[in-house]
Chain A
Amino acid sequence: MNNSITQYFRKEMFPHIWCPGCGIGIILGAILRAIHSLGWEKDDIAMVSGIGCSSRITGYVDFNTMNTTHGRALPFATGIKMANPSLKVITVMGDGDCAAIGGNHFIHSARRNIDITAIIINNMIYGMTGGQYSPLTPTGKFGSTAPYGNIDQTFDLAALAASAGASYVSRSTIFDVNQATRFIKKALLKKGFSVVEIISDCPISFGRINQLRTPVQMLEWIKNITVPKKVWDKLSEEEKEGKFPTGEFLDIDIPEYTERYQETCNRIQ
């Protein structure tokens, strides 16, 4: 068996557009390793993204792929999944894409518990447009539109997804790519709405303005601001300040949307 993940690349699409030191490539590797370990056929996979640096992933992989409009990957994916439930549907979104403009779709996809895996590449900034702050920019950090420091509260997407009705929710980082790969694999196998948020770096749009200019500095910072869930639970509110828990937050089996829909059809036909 060919074990190289390059077999999933559309080689003619390279070189890719990402900056040197960008974490998106690391996450792409994790996604492909997870898919490869499951032995899924390329033909059976539909990968849908929104708009942003993260969303460019779909152009480089040899599946049924779609780079849609900003924030809308999930409803496009929902249409695909409902029309052909046998397809394995994965969405890839940036933090702005998923949490700002696409926030409502994220909530409602979780609420339906539709069998889609949502991978969120959280670089805590609008990368593609040049570093404006996003709903996941930590309070106090800087962005090109937060020159005096971001005063917004940071969204906790994992908690949001869990409370909205998802089946599987986890958070990892590009610092622990083996964990990220493991989480993605579990999410792909979950029947229901599964969410993996992966904290990533953007040395260009986030790093420069926040004195984290090199990828190494960014990785160290990511390591320092993340805490395994078990440790997190024992921290005081003060200690939690500026930190983010990683790990698996939810893993349950509840009725899934395409199956529920089919049950309704069977009942009335």
Chain B
Amino acid sequence: MDKNKSVKVLQGNEACVEGALLAGVRFFAGYPITPASEIAEGMAVRLPKLGGVFMQMEDEIASMAAVIGASIAGSKSMTASSGPGICLKQENIGFAAITEVPCVIVNSQRGGPSTGLPTKPSQGDVMQARWGTHGDHPMIALAPSDVNEVLHITIKAINFSEKYRTPVMLLLDEVISHMREKVNIPTREEIEIIDRKKPTVDKDNFLPFKADEDLVPPMANFGSGYRYHLTGLVHNEKGYPTSNNKEVDQLIRRLTNKVELNKKDIIIEEEYLLDDARVAIVAYGSVARAAERTVKLAREKGIKVGLLKLVTLWPFSDETINRLAGQVDLIIVPELNLGQMAREVQRAAEGKCRVIPYGRVDGELINPVEILSKIEEESK
């Protein structure tokens, strides 16, 4: 199948598996949870055939740990879970962030908090995706909005994790995970695959955490002959624990900056009919699909509405939002939570226009007509 381009009807979770395997994922560890289990089931079928490793661990903490271990030993690695499991992974996500180990965490979001609404979609974890683990740390989070996009954005997620040596969150939700749609499966040659940078210096002069100009240090896999120490303690360029203020400051800032200063490369967003818009919808994930339809309905009625669809949620599209806020009268942010991203949009808009949240947390999707009604109500 890798050789011929093909079109298949796939579920979102299956598309995620296809994308991950195409991107080179060869290690998956997980623990069952709705609505993410099909990703593990798909990996369990496929990975052993490809010489990769699938493991069902004893819990999500162990899954996250195993994924990081496997990545250090050289495998592109991934795990998938949902709310309660993502909570358990947080400490080790922080470990991956500070030790700069590439890995991808898929969160098929369901209603929360706690066990919440296991079989209903939600976008309630977007802030957790950014700040779930403690301390200042970098984070890349991507949110595809249809099944075809799930495949391509999964590849991006793996690539970003390798390129920037950082954990990447792929945010799906119950609907995208389980919906079936046509997917164009690309060939290996059609997609870009990025592998972690390898050290070029000789073994005696290797400093495992000395970054290149792009702020990312080359990575040596365990067993490659470059011996070094990895620790969750703040460490210096040699990888040894330090509490020297200068070295501490340097590491924490570099970790954040390697993502923030490479925003141009990481931010994926799409503008739809924004040129003459007076009202902008900012949406992401499954809600962005409804919003696209809202734009059409509004324009049929003569209301100039456009859409900014965010695929990259973190780092945040501050610059685009700020520009947009200077152009339109109103930004509306529909999302399946009580205004988590709307607050970010408000911050980035710097008061240049009104920003209105439109949140739904009853387990139902947001439909195009209700977004339109909200726009009509607010623009009266």
- Mask, A102-115, CB within 8 Å of B = 1, is 00110110000000
Mask: chain A, 71-93; 1 = CB below 8 Å from B; 0 = not = 01011111111111011000000
B261 to chain A, nearest CB (A): 28
- B229 and A76: CB pair below 8 A? no
Alpha-carbon distance A234/B66, docked complex (angstroms): 43
- Residues of B contacting A83 with CB < 8 Å? 26-27, 53, 69-71, 73-75, 77
Q: How far is the CB of A165 from chain B (nearest CB, A)?
A: 13
Q: Are A84 and B48 in contact (CB under 8 A)?
A: no
Q: Which of B70, B72, B230 contacts A67 (CB 8 A)?
A: B230
For residue B29, CB closer than 8 A to chain A, the reply is yes
- Bound: A67/B228 CA distance, A: 11
Q: Chain B residues near A129 (CB, 8 Å)?
A: none
Q: Residue A200 at the B interface, CB < 8 A? A: no
The yes or no answer to A132 lying at the interface (CB within 8 A) is no
Q: What are 26 inter-chain pairs, A to B, with CB distance below 8 A?
A: A46-B222, A58-B231, A59-B240, A63-B227, A65-B227, A66-B229, A66-B231, A67-B233, A68-B95, A69-B65, A72-B92, A74-B62, A75-B69, A78-B65, A78-B69, A79-B29, A79-B72, A80-B69, A82-B66, A83-B53, A84-B222, A86-B223, A105-B58, A108-B58, A269-B48, A269-B51
- How many A residues, CB 8 Å from partner? 42
Q: Given the complex of chains A and B, what is the CA–CA distance between A265 and B61 in angstroms?
A: 26
Q: Pick the 4 closest A-B CB pairs, nearest first.
A: A79-B69, A79-B66, A75-B65, A83-B73
CB pair B62–A108 under 8 Å, yes or no, is yes
* Chain A residue at minimal CB-CB distance from B232: A69
B68 and A84 within 8 A (CB): no
- Please tell me if the beta carbons of B227 and A42 are within 8 angstroms of each other in the complex: yes
Q: How far is the CA of A74 from the CA of B299 in the complex (A)?
A: 58
CB distance from A68 to the nearest CB of B (A): 6
Question: Which of A64, A77, A81, A269: most chain B Cβ within 10 A?
Answer: A64
**A:238-269 near B, CB below 8 Å:** 261, 264-265, 268-269
How near does chain B come to A186, taking the closest CB pair, in angstroms?
24
Among B48, B71, B222, B223: residue with most chain A CB under 10 A: B222
Judged by a CB distance under 8 angstroms, whether B248 is at the interface is no
Could you tell me the distance between the alpha carbons of A3 and B62 in the complex, rounded to whole angstroms? 38
Q: How far is the CA of A212 from the CA of B228 in the complex (A)?
A: 38
A261's contact among B53, B91, B221, by CB below 8 Å, is which?
B53
Contact: B240 with A76, CB < 8 Å? Answer: no
- Contact indicator B58/A10 (Cβ below 8 Å): no
Residue of A58, A69, A80, A84 touching B229 (CB-CB under 8 A)? A58
A62 at the binding interface (Cβ < 8 Å): yes
In the assembled complex, how far is the CB of residue A262 from the closest CB belonging to chain B, in whole angstroms? 9
CB neighbours (8 Å) of B77 from chain A are 79, 83
Q: Is residue A237 contacting chain B, with contact meaning CB distance below 8 A?
A: no
A84 and B73 in contact, given A13-B240, A69-B92, A269-B51 (Cβ under 8 angstroms): yes
Q: A66-B229, A72-B62 are in contact. List 17 more A-B contacts (CB 8 A).
A: A10-B229, A10-B240, A43-B227, A44-B223, A46-B73, A58-B229, A59-B241, A72-B65, A75-B61, A76-B66, A78-B62, A78-B69, A79-B70, A79-B71, A79-B72, A82-B66, A83-B74
User: Residues of A contacting B49 with CB < 8 Å?
Assistant: 265, 268-269
Q: Provide the bound-state CA to CA distance between A58 and B69, in Å.
A: 15
Asked whether any CB of chain B lies closer than 8 Å to the CB of A196, the reply is no
Is A35 interfacial (CB 8 A cutoff)? no
**CA of A104 to CA of B57, assembled, Å:** 11
Q: Which of B80-133 contact A (CB under 8 A)?
A: 91-92, 95
Please name all residues of chain A whose beta carbon is closer than 8 Å to the beta carbon of B150 when the two chains form the complex.
Answer: none
Which residue of chain B is the closest to A264 with respect to CB atoms?
Answer: B48
A77 to chain B, nearest CB (A): 6
Query: Once bound together, how far apart are the Cα atoms of A65 and B68, in whole Å?
Result: 13
Q: Kindly supply a per-residue 1/0 record for chain B positions 222-252, scoring 1 wherever the CB is within 8 Å of any chain A CB and 0 otherwise.
A: 1101011111110000101100000000000
Task: Find the residue from A42, A44, A65, A80 having the highest chain B CB count within 10 A.
Answer: A80
Bound-state CA distance A42–B229 (Å) is 13
Closest to A70 in B: B91
B55: Cβ under 8 A from any A Cβ: yes
Looking across the interface, which residue of chain B has its beta carbon closest to that of A107? Answer: B58
Contact with A84, one of B67, B74, B228, B238 (Cβ below 8 angstroms) = B74
Tell me if B59 and A79 are in contact (CB < 8 A).
Answer: no
Closest partner residue, chain A, to B59 (CB atom): A104
Residues on the A chain within 8 Å of B69, using CB? 48, 66, 75-81, 83
- Indicate if the CB atoms of A62 and B58 lie closer than 8 Å: no
A65 to B230, CA, bound (A): 6
**Known contacts being A76-B69, A80-B222, is A67 close to B92, with CB within 8 Å?**
no
Chain A residues with CB under 8 A of B241: 59
Given the interface pairs A13-B240, A69-B95, A79-B29, the reply to whether A64 lies near B58 with Cβ below 8 Å is no
* Nearest chain B residue, comparing its CB with the CB of A78: B66
- Known contacts being A66-B230, A79-B68, is A84 close to B223, with CB within 8 Å? yes
Chain A residue numbers with a CB within 8 Å of B240 are 10, 12-13, 59
Q: Mark A27-61, 1 if CB is under 8 A from B, else 0.
A: 00000000000000011101010010000001100
B233 touches A87 (CB 8 A): no
Which chain B residues lie closer than 8 Å to A58 at the CB level?
Answer: 229, 231
B223 pairs with A46, CB closer than 8 A: yes
Closest to B230 in A: A66
Whether the pair B222, A87 counts as a contact (CB closer than 8 A) is yes
Proximity bits, B325-366, A CB within 8 Å = 1, else 0: 000000000000000000000000000000000000000000
- List the A side residues contacting B70 at CB < 8 Å: 79-80, 82-83
Q: Give Cα distance in the complex from A43 to B203, angstroms.
A: 11
B243 to chain A, nearest CB (A): 12
Contact check, B225 vs A43: say whether CB atoms are below 8 A apart. yes
Most buried by A among B49, B63, B73, B238: B73
Contact B51 A72 (CB under 8 A): no
